[in-house]
Structure 1
Amino acid sequence: MKIVSLTMVNNEGEMIESFIRYNYNFFDHMVIIDNGCTDNTIDIIQSLISEGYKIHVFNESLESYNQFRLDNKYIKKILNEIVPDIIIPLDADEFLSGIDNPRSLLENLSLDRIYYITWRWYVLSDKDDVTEAFIPKRLLYSLDKPPYNQIDGSEVTKVIIPAKYFSEMKLTLSAGHHTVFGKSNPKIEKIKQLFIAHYRIISDTHLTSKLMCYVMRGIVSMELTTKQTSHRTNQLAIIERGGSLLETAIDVSYSGYPKNVIYNPLNLSFCEPESIKLKYSISSEDSLIQSVLHTGQEMAIRTYNLERKHKEKPYLKPIILWLDGFTESDIFVPNPSNRSILLTSMYNVRGYVTEINELKFLKVNYRLLITPEWLKFLPYKYIVVPNGVEVNDVKTKLEPYIINKEIIISEREYLQKIGPFLMIWSLILFIPSLLCTGLSYTKKNGIKKTINSIRNRLSVKQDK
C-alpha cells in the first residue's frame, strides 16, 4: 500500500524536522508545498531529502495563503503522478498516531469510504522541557477530550482520503482538512483508532514569531478574511501592551477550550529510536530573528513586484538576468556590462540574480538584485544568461534553488523562444524606453554629467 502525506509550509523551522522524522515512520512519500518560507524550513527539508527521505517540494511562494485552493490542486497532482492508495493531509504541527502502529491501522482500512478522525490537542504548561527540540517530547499535556465545534458541540474532525474513492466520487477537500464535499454523498466513517496530535504553540517565542509574521502576511493578503486574522491581531495587541508573553502563549495554546488537561505524552514506541533524533534544529530565538527579518524582506519584494509590473511592456513575460560583468571593485557598486543594460531596456527584466551576497537587495538599472534563495519570490519565465557567460556554469550554481534547469537559457536561446514577432515588438519599444531612462537620468544629474557618464561607460566599461 502506498501512503502519501500532503502539507503546506510557511516558516516552520522549529517544527519541520520533528514533523518529518516522526510522520515518515508511517508514510511512503511526503509532498510539501512551500508557500513562501523565508527561514530554514526548506534547508532542513533538503537536508532530509539528502538523507534519503522521499519528499517532493513544490514552490508556491508567489501565491497568497490559500490552503483550500493549493491543497486541492496538489491532491489532483498526487492522484495523477504518484498514484497513492491513501492521502493524508497534515499541517506541519500535526503528528499522526493511534491506539496501535498508525501504519498497520492505515493498511487495514477499507478503501471504499472517507475517514474522519479527531485531534488530540497539546497545550503549553510550566512542566514543558523547553530544552527538548523534538516536539512530542517537549509538550506532554493535552486537553482531556478532543476539540469540538463551539456552535454545535460536535468533535472537530480531520480527513483520511482513500485516493481512488476520492477521485471516483469527484470530491473536494475543505479548508483546514476537516471534511470533504461534492455533488455525490460520500460514505464517511468516523474512527477512533487513529488520531492526530496537534501542537499549535510550542513556546512563547514560537508564538511571537507566528504572530509577527502572520500579521505582516495578513496585511498584504487579499485571501484571508477578518475572521481568519482577527485572533492573531488581537493576540499581538496584548503583547504590544506589555502583557506577559508566556501567559499569552499558554492561553493561546488552549484556543478558548476549557483548561482541563491531562498528562498524555505521545506514544513514540511506533517509531524507530534513531528515526526521531534531530540534527538540524535551531534555537527558537534564532528562528524568531530569521522569520521576522526575512518575512519583512519578503513583503518588500512583493511590493517591488507590484511597482515593477506596472512599468513592464505588454505581451512579454518577465525574465531574470544573471548578473554578468562585475569585478572585485564592483562588489558594493554593481556595474553590469553594457549588453546587460541594453537587455533591461529591450525586455521585461524583473530582476538580476547573483551569488554575491553583498549585492543582495541593491538595484541595477532600477531592477532588484537578489541571491538565488530569493528567486522564488520573483515571477519569471526564464533566467537569461547574457552572451559571453557559460550557461551550464549558471545551471550548476542555481540547481539547488529551482525545479527545472531548462528555464536557464542563453540570450540567443531567449531570442529564439520569443520569436520574430515579439523580437520586433521589443525593438519598437526599445528606443522610447532608452530615451525615457536617459531623460530621467539627465533631469536628476544634468546634461554635462550625463554625457560624461555615457563617455566613461563606452570607453572604460566595454562589454565583458
Structure 2
Amino acid sequence: MNIVSFTMVNNESEIIESFIRYNYNFVDRMFIIDNGCTDNTINILRKLINEGYNITIYDESLSAYDQFRLDNKYLNKIIDEYSPDMILPLDADEFLTGDQNPRTLLEKLSLDSIYYVHWQWYVMTDEDNYDDCLVPRRIKHHFVSPVQNKGADVPETKSIIPAQYYRKMNLTLSMGHHKVFGNNNAKITILNNIRLAHYRAISEEQIIAKTMCYTMRDIATMKNNIETAQRTNQMAAIEHGENMHDTVMEISRGGYEDVIIEDPIDLSFCDSNLLDIKYQFLSHESRADRVYKTGVEMAIRAYNSERSRVEKPGLKPVLVWLDHIRNDGYLFPSPSNDITLLASRYNVRGYLTDYDEVKFLKVNYRLIVTPDTMKFLPHQYVIIPNTVDFESVKSLLVKSGVDEATIISQNAYTHKLGLIKSLYSSITLIPSLIIRVGMYIERNGLSTTFKKIFERVRK
C-alpha cells in the first residue's frame, strides 16, 4: 500500500525535525506546503531531503493563510499526480500513533471508507525533559479522554483518506482536516486503535515567538477564526507581562480540562536510527531573529504592492541576477547597463544576489534579495543575464534551493516571450526610460542626472 502524508507549514523549526523523523516511519512519501516560512523550517527540510528522506516541498509563500483552500488544492494535486492509496493530512504538531504499529494498522484498512481518528492531546508539564530534542520523548503527559469538539458534545476527529474512494465520492476536506463533506452516502468509519498525538505547545519560547510573528501576519489578512482570537488573547498576556510559564502551560491545554496521565507514545514502532535529532542548532533561533524575519516578510509584501502598480500589463514579473557588486570600502550594487535596460524593458520585480551585504538595498528602483527571501517576490522566471556565466550562476542557485525549472538565460527568456510580447516590451522601453530619467531629475537635479547618464554610457 502506498501511503503518503501532506502538511502545510509556517515557521515550525522547533518541531519539524521530530515530526519528519517520527512520522516517516509510517509513510512512503511526505508532501510539505510552505506557506511562507521565515525561520529555518525549510533549511531543516532540505537537510533531511539530502539525507534521503522522500519529501516534496511546494511553495505557497505568496498565498495568504487559507488552510482550507490550500489543503484541498494539494490533496487533489497529490491524488492526480502520484496516485497514492492512502493520504494522511497531518499538521506539523501531529504524530501518528496507535495500539500497534500504525503502518500495520493502516495497511489492514479497507480502501472503501473514509476514516476518522481522535486526538491524543499532549500537554506541557514541569516534568518535561527539555534536554531531549525529540518532542515525543520530551513531552509525555496527555489527557485521559479524547478532547471534545467545542461546538458539539462529541470527540474531535481528524481524517484519514483512501484516495480513490475520496475522489469517487466527490468529497471535500474540511478546514483543519477534521472531517470530509460533499456526499452524505460516503462511508465514515471511526477508528479507536489509531490516534494522532497532538503537541499543541512544546516550549515557552515557541509559543511567545509564534504568537508575536503570527499576530503580525494576522493583521495583514482579511479573515478571523477561533485561532486568531486565541493568538490575540495570548499576545495580550505577553504585553501585560503575565507569568508566561503558567500562561504557556495553560495554552498547551487548548482550553480543555481533563485529568492528565503519563503515557508517552510508543517509539518502539520506529527505526531508532531515524530518531536522532541532528539539526537542533537550526531550531534554536532567537526571538529577535524570528520577529525580524517576519518583519522582513511583511515589508517585502508591502514593496510588492507598490512595485506592482507601476509594472506593465501583460507581462509577468521576473527576477534578474545582479551581475556586479563594487567595493568602495563597502559593498554596493553596480548593475551593468544590460540589466539596467532589462529593468525598463520587462517587469523585473527584483534582483537576486548571494551577497548578504547588499540584500534589501534597491537598485534601478528594484529590491535586491537573496535566495532565502526570493519566494516572497512573485516571479515567473529567474533570468541570468548574458553578462555572467550561465552555468556557474545556475549551479549556485540550484544549490540554494531555487527551482531549476524557473532558471532561464536572458536570450531564452526573450524567446519564450514570443514576437508580440518582445515587440511590446521594446516599444515600451523608451517611455519607461523617460519616466525613470524624470524621477532621477526630480530627486537629484539636472546636472547630476546628466553626469550619471554619461557615466552609464561610458561603462
TM-score of the alignment, normalized to the shorter chain, above 0.5:
yes
Residue 330 of structure 1: CA displacement? 8.6
Residue 290 of structure 1: CA displacement? 3.5
Residue 293 (structure 1) aligns with: 292
Taking structure 1 as reference, are residues 233 and 421 closer, same or farther at Cα in structure 2, changes over 3 Å only?
A: same
Residue 372 (structure 1) aligns with: 371
**CA-to-aligned-CA distance 1:326-381 (integer Å, 9 cap, x gap):** 34449622110111111111111000001111111110011000011112111111
- Give the distance between the partners of 1:427 and 1:411, measured in 2 at CA: 14
- Give the distance between the partners of 1:9 and 1:287, measured in 2 at CA: 19
- Give the distance between the partners of 1:123 and 1:420, measured in 2 at CA: 62
Unmatched tracts of structure 2, length 5 or more: none
For 1:53, the aligned partner's letter is Y
Q: For residues 276-355 of structure 1, what are the structure 2 equivalents within 5 Å?
A: 276-282=275-281, 286=285, 288-329=287-328, 332-355=331-354
Residue 28 (structure 2) aligns with: 28
Residue 389 (structure 1) aligns with: 388
Q: For residues 202-213 of structure 1, what are the structure 2 equivalents within 5 Å?
A: 202-213=202-213
Unmatched tracts of structure 1, length 5 or more: none
- Give the distance between the partners of 1:14 and 1:68, measured in 2 at CA: 24
Query: Does the 8 Å CA contact 1:38/1:290 hold for their aligned counterparts?
Result: no
Residue 59 of structure 1: CA displacement? 0.9
Residue 103 of structure 1: CA displacement? 0.6
Taking structure 1 as reference, are residues 285 and 78 closer, same or farther at Cα in structure 2, changes over 3 Å only?
A: closer
Q: Which moved more, 1:427-436 or 1:281-290?
A: 281-290
Taking structure 1 as reference, are residues 268 and 287 closer, same or farther at Cα in structure 2, changes over 3 Å only?
A: farther
Residue 454 (structure 1) aligns with: 453
Residue 225 of structure 1: CA displacement? 1.6
Query: Does the 8 Å CA contact 1:115/1:189 hold for their aligned counterparts?
Result: yes
Asked whether 1:439 is paired with 2:438, we answer yes
**CA-to-aligned-CA distance 1:4-59 (integer Å, 9 cap, x gap):** 01111111101000000000111111111111111111111111111111111111
- Give the distance between the partners of 2:400 and 2:218, measured in 1 at CA: 26
Query: Does the 8 Å CA contact 2:6/2:89 hold for their aligned counterparts?
Result: yes
Query: Does the 8 Å CA contact 1:39/1:287 hold for their aligned counterparts?
Result: no
For 1:319, the aligned partner's letter is V
Asked whether 1:148 is paired with 2:148, we answer yes
Residue 145 of structure 1: CA displacement? 0.9
Residue 43 (structure 1) aligns with: 43
- Give the distance between the partners of 2:29 and 2:183, measured in 1 at CA: 30
Query: Does the 8 Å CA contact 1:331/1:359 hold for their aligned counterparts?
Result: no
Query: Does the 8 Å CA contact 1:355/1:372 hold for their aligned counterparts?
Result: yes
- Give the distance between the partners of 1:264 and 1:35, measured in 2 at CA: 33
Query: Does the 8 Å CA contact 1:321/1:386 hold for their aligned counterparts?
Result: yes
Residue 243 (structure 1) aligns with: 242
- Give the distance between the partners of 1:338 and 1:331, measured in 2 at CA: 21
**CA-to-aligned-CA distance 1:93-150 (integer Å, 9 cap, x gap):** 0000000110110011111101100001111111111221110111111112111012
- Give the distance between the partners of 1:382 and 1:20, measured in 2 at CA: 31
Residue 152 of structure 1: CA displacement? 2.3
Residue 191 (structure 1) aligns with: 191
Residue 404 of structure 1: CA displacement? 3.9
For 1:171, the aligned partner's letter is L
Over the matched positions of the two proteins, sequence identity in percent amounts to 49
For 1:409, the aligned partner's letter is I
- Give the distance between the partners of 2:401 and 2:22, measured in 1 at CA: 27
Residue 75 (structure 1) aligns with: 75
Taking structure 1 as reference, are residues 48 and 405 closer, same or farther at Cα in structure 2, changes over 3 Å only?
A: same
For 2:156, the aligned partner's letter is V
Q: For residues 249-288 of structure 1, what are the structure 2 equivalents within 5 Å?
A: 249-282=248-281, 286=285, 288=287
- Give the distance between the partners of 1:101 and 1:273, measured in 2 at CA: 14
Residue 273 of structure 1: CA displacement? 1.6
Residue 167 (structure 2) aligns with: 167
- Give the distance between the partners of 1:349 and 1:19, measured in 2 at CA: 38
- Give the distance between the partners of 1:381 and 1:441, measured in 2 at CA: 29
- Give the distance between the partners of 2:282 and 2:241, measured in 1 at CA: 24
- Give the distance between the partners of 1:434 and 1:98, measured in 2 at CA: 66
- Give the distance between the partners of 2:208 and 2:189, measured in 1 at CA: 38
Q: Secondary structure at the match of 2:324?
A: coil
Residue 422 (structure 1) aligns with: 421
What is the TM-score normalised by the length of structure 2?
0.97
- Give the distance between the partners of 1:325 and 1:403, measured in 2 at CA: 20
Q: Secondary structure at the match of 1:351?
A: strand
Residue 203 of structure 1: CA displacement? 0.8
Residue 456 of structure 1: CA displacement? 2.3
Residue 60 of structure 1: CA displacement? 0.9
Residue 3 (structure 2) aligns with: 3
Residue 106 (structure 1) aligns with: 106
Query: Does the 8 Å CA contact 1:14/1:282 hold for their aligned counterparts?
Result: no
- Give the distance between the partners of 1:201 and 1:112, measured in 2 at CA: 35
What is the TM-score normalised by the length of structure 1?
0.96
Residue 393 of structure 1: CA displacement? 1.7
Residue 226 of structure 1: CA displacement? 4.6
Q: For residues 114-129 of structure 1, what are the structure 2 equivalents within 5 Å?
A: 114-129=114-129
Q: Which moved more, 1:328-337 or 1:236-245?
A: 328-337
Query: Does the 8 Å CA contact 1:375/1:401 hold for their aligned counterparts?
Result: no
- Aligned residue pair count: 459
For 2:315, the aligned partner's letter is L
